[in-house]
Amino acid sequence: MSLAKIRLLALDVDGILTDGRVWFDGDGEQLKPFHTQDGLGIKLVQSHGIAVALVTGRVSPMVDYRARQLGIAHVIQGRDDKLAAITELTGTLQLTLDQVAYMGDDLPDLSALLAVGVGRTVPGADPWVRERVEATRAAGGMGAVRELCNALLAAQGHQASVLAEFGVGE
C-alpha cells in the first residue's frame, strides 16, 4: 500500500517506541526510555494532518505521560487484540484500515500489521513477524518510528516544507 494514503499512524509501545525493556525503580514504578527523534517525528506527522495513536497490551502511566508530552490524543492501553483496537479507532475517526500505518514487533501485533495499509516492524522483532512484515533499519526505541515518520512525510510531499521549518532549503 501507499504511504501517501496514510491518515493514522498507530504505534505499539514496548519494542517500538522503546527498546522493549521495562525498567522498575525502587518503588516498583515502571520506567521506559523514549527516543527524542521519534518524538519529533510524531509531532511532525501530526502537524501535517496524520493522527497518531498508541496501542499497547500493557498499562503504564509512563505511556500516558509520553502521550501528553507529544499531544497524542488516542491512547489505547491494556488491549491484547491490537487489530480490534485499531479497527474501533478507525471507525471513530471515519477512516479505513487502508489509511492506517501500524508499527509492532511481536505476535500480538501481527494480525494488525497484516490488515492495515502499511505495516512496519523493527529488526529486533519476533522472527515470525520479521518474515511477514517489512522492517525499518533503525531498532525499536532507537529511531524506528522517526524513520517511518520521515517516509510518510516524504511520500505525502512534505519533505521540503519540513526542512524549511528548520531553515534548510533543498
Domain ranges of the chain: 3-165
% of the chain at pLDDT higher than 70: 99
pLDDT over threshold 70, residue 1? no
Beta-carbon count within 10 A of 9 CB: 24
Question: Cell numbers at residue 126, please?
Answer: 519476533
Binding residues for substrate: 14
Per residue in 53-109, pLDDT (tens digit) is 999 999 989 899 999 999 999 999 999 999 999 999 999 999 999 999 999 999 999
Binding residues: 12, 14, 105
3-165: CATH topology is: Rossmann fold (3.40.50)
pLDDT over threshold 70, residue 11? yes
Binding residues for Mg(2+): 12, 105
Beta-carbon count within 10 A of 99 CB: 19
pLDDT (0 to 100) of residue 22: 80
pLDDT over threshold 80, residue 30? no
Per residue in 40-50, pLDDT (tens digit) is 999 999 999 99
Name the residue with higher pLDDT: 109 or 2.
Answer: 109
pTM (two decimals): 0.95
Average pLDDT score over residue span 129-147: 98
103 beta partners: 11, 120
> What's the whole-number average pLDDT of the chain?
96
Per residue in 112-128, pLDDT (tens digit) is 999 999 999 999 999 99
Helix (H, G, I), strand (E, B) or coil at 49: coil
